[in-house]
Chains A and B, each alone.
Chain A
C-alpha cells in the first residue's frame, strides 16, 4: 500500500474517530440531561400532589412559592407549613409515585420543630429488596429557613436513570467497539507495512551484498581458468568451468531480484524505440530454442511487417520470460506457439503452451510478487516467482493489456495487446 494512501487513511480515520467520540459524548450528555429533567419534573409532581393531599388533610394552606425545593441531585425538601404525620406521608408518597410510574426506592425524614431534629422516617422500595442490604443514610441535612417540612432522598437515582437508557448504552458500546476495531485494523495495516518494508530492505541489502563476492569469484575463477596447469588438467578445468557457470547463474538470479526491487522503487524509465515485431520475435525464438532439449517453439507471424514503439530490452525480457515459463510448465516435450495477429490499431501477441495449466484460484495471484503455485516439497519447476510480476509491471508501464487464458491439464495462453506504431 502506498505511503500517501496510508497517511490519508490514518488522517481520515482519526478525524472520523474524533467526530464519533464528540457526537457520542454530546449525545450521551444531552440524553442524561433530558432524563434528569424528566426525573425532576416527575418528582416535583409527586411531591406537589403529596403536599396538596397533606394540606387538605390538615386543612391548611400551602405556601405560594418554594413548596418543593431540590437541594441536590437526589435530595428534595417539601415545605408544607403544617404538622406532618409520618405514616400518612409514607402512604401518600407511595401512592403518588405509583400513579406517576416512578418506580424507584426512596427514603424520607420529617423535621420535628420541638426538638429541632430531622427524624428519619423509612426506606421504601417498590421492589421487595432485603432491607438489611441497604445502606440507610439516617443523617439527612436540615434546613434552617424552613419550619414544617419533610425531605425525600432517592439513593438509587443514578442507577435508575442509567437503567432507562439501555438503547443509548448499547449504541455507545457498539460505537466503542467500532472504534476499537478501527484502531486494531490501523495497527495491523501499520504492522504489515513495517514488515513489508523490512522484507524489501532485507532483500535489497542481501542481493547487494551478494554482488561483491560474485565479482570476486568471477575474477578469481577467470584467473584460474587461464592458468596453464589448470588448462592441462581435465578435472580442474571442468571444476573451474562449473565455478564460472554457477557464478554466472547466481549473478543472473541476483540481477532478477534487483530488477524487481528497481521496478518497485521508482517509476520505470522506458527507453522507447520503434522496431519491427516479427523480426524481433524471431530473434528471441532463436535464442530460446537453444535452451530447448526436446519439443519446439513455433511462430505464426503476421503477413505484413508491424512496428511497435517500446523499450526493446524490456520487451525482449518479457517475451523470453513467458517462453521460459511455457517451457518450464510443459511436460517432457514442450510445444510453445507464438502468434502475432493484426487487430487494426493494435497487435495481439500470443504465447501459448500445452502444459500443465493453472487453476482459477492460482490465476488470481499469478502476477503477484514471489507467488508460486504451491506444490509442497515437490519441485518440478524452480524459480523465485518474480517472472510474471516483472511481465505485468512492464506491460503496465507501456500501457499494454495482458490477458491470461488457462485450463489445468490443457495449457495456458498469454495475450498481450500492443498498440502499433504508425511511424516506420
Chain B
C-alpha cells in the first residue's frame, strides 16, 4: 500500500477508535472513522477507499450489512 492509501475504519468504541486510527496514521495511512453502520455506508458511498475495517457489532446497522451494501461500489 502506498502512503496515499485510504482506509475507512468503522468502530463505535471511542478509545479503541482513537488508538487504532492513531497507529494507522502513524504508519502513513489516511484514515476516515465512522461510529455506526449507517454513517459508514454513507461515507463509503461518497468516497473511494483502498480498505475498509469493519466492526461487526455496530449501532444502527451491523458490520455484515455494511459490507453487503458496500460491495456494489
Q: Hey, which bits of chain A sit against chain B, CB under 8 A? A: 235, 239, 242, 245-246, 376-380
A242→B64 CA distance, assembly (Å): 29
A242 near B18: Cβ-Cβ < 8 Å: yes
Establish whether residues A379 and B15, one from each chain, have CB atoms under 8 Å apart when the complex forms. Answer: no
B-chain residues with CB within 8 Å of residue A246 when the two chains form the complex = 15
Report chain A residues within 8 Å CB of B62.
376-379
Least Cβ–Cβ distance between B41 and chain A, in angstroms: 13
CB pair A242 B19 closer than 8 Å: yes
When distances are taken between beta carbons in the complex, the residues of chain B under 8 Å from A235 are 22
B15 and A245 within 8 A (CB): yes
Question: A-facing mask of B26-66, CB < 8 A → 1, else 0?
Answer: 00000000000100000000000000000011111111100
Query: In the complex, A242 Cα to B19 Cα: how many Å?
Result: 9
- C-alpha spacing A378/B66, complex, angstroms: 11
CA distance A380 to B59 in the complex (A): 4
Instruction: Report 16 cross-chain contacts, Cβ distance below 8 Å, ordered by A residue.
Output: A242-B15, A242-B18, A242-B19, A245-B15, A376-B62, A377-B56, A377-B58, A377-B62, A377-B63, A378-B37, A378-B59, A378-B60, A378-B62, A379-B12, A379-B62, A380-B59
Residue of B nearest to A246 (CB): B15
The residue of chain B having its C-beta at the shortest distance from the C-beta of A377 within the complex is B62
CB distance from B37 to the nearest CB of A (A): 7
- Nearest-neighbor residue (CB-CB) of A242 within chain B: B15
How far is A376 from B64 in the complex, measured between Cα atoms in Å?
11
Chain A residue contacts of B61, Cβ below 8 A = 378
Most buried by B among A239, A242, A246, A378: A378
Q: How many residues of B contact A (CB 8 A)?
A: 15
In the complex, which residues of chain A have a beta carbon less than 8 angstroms from the beta carbon of B60?
378, 380
Bound-state Cα–Cα, A246 to B17, Å: 13
* A323: min CB distance to chain B, Å: 21
Identify which of A239, A245, A379 contacts B58 (C-beta below 8 A): A379
A17 to B18 alpha-carbon distance, docked (Å): 65
Complex: A246 Cα to B59 Cα, angstroms: 21
User: CB-CB < 8 A to A239: which residues of B?
Assistant: 19
> How long is the Cα–Cα vector from A99 to B11 in the complex, in angstroms?
93
A58–B24 alpha-carbon span in the complex (Å): 121
* Given A246-B15, A378-B62, A379-B57, 20 more pairs with CB closer than 8 A: A235-B22, A239-B19, A242-B18, A245-B15, A376-B62, A377-B57, A377-B58, A377-B62, A377-B63, A378-B37, A378-B57, A378-B58, A378-B59, A378-B61, A379-B12, A379-B58, A379-B59, A379-B62, A380-B59, A380-B60
Contacts of B63 in A (CB 8 A): 377
B12 neighbours in A (Cβ, 8 Å): 379
Inter-chain CA distance A376–B18, complex, in Å, is 26
Q: CA of A239 to CA of B26 in the docked complex: distance in angstroms?
A: 14
Q: How far is the CA of A376 from the CA of B57 in the complex (A)?
A: 8
Closest residue to B61 on the A side, CB-wise? A378
From residue B60, how far is it (CB to closest CB) to chain A in Å? Answer: 7
CA A235 – CA B12 in complex, angstroms?
22
A315 to chain B, nearest CB (A): 31
Q: How far is the CA of A336 from the CA of B56 in the complex (A)?
A: 30
A245, A246, A377 interface centre (most CB from chain B within 10 Å): A377
CA distance A378 to B64 in the complex (A): 10
Q: Nearest Cβ in chain A — how far from B28, in angstroms?
A: 16
| A274 vs B31: C-alpha distance when bound (angstroms) | 55
Most buried by B among A235, A242, A376, A379: A379
Please report the C-alpha to C-alpha distance between residue A155 and residue B6 in the assembled complex, in whole angstroms.
Answer: 94
Task: Give the 10 A-B CB pairs with smallest separation, nearest first.
Answer: A377-B62, A379-B57, A380-B59, A378-B62, A377-B56, A377-B57, A242-B15, A246-B15, A379-B59, A242-B19
B37: A residues at CB distance < 8 A: 378
Contacts of A379 in B (CB 8 A): 12, 57-59, 62
Nearest-Cβ distance from residue A378 to partner chain B, whole angstroms: 5
Once the chains are docked, how many angstroms separate the CA of A65 from the CA of B63?
99
Contacts of A380 in B (CB 8 A): 59-60
Closest Cβ of chain B: how far from A413's Cβ, in Å?
25
**What residues of chain B lie closer than 8 Å to A245, measured between beta carbons?**
15
A242 CA / B21 CA spacing, docked (Å)? 14
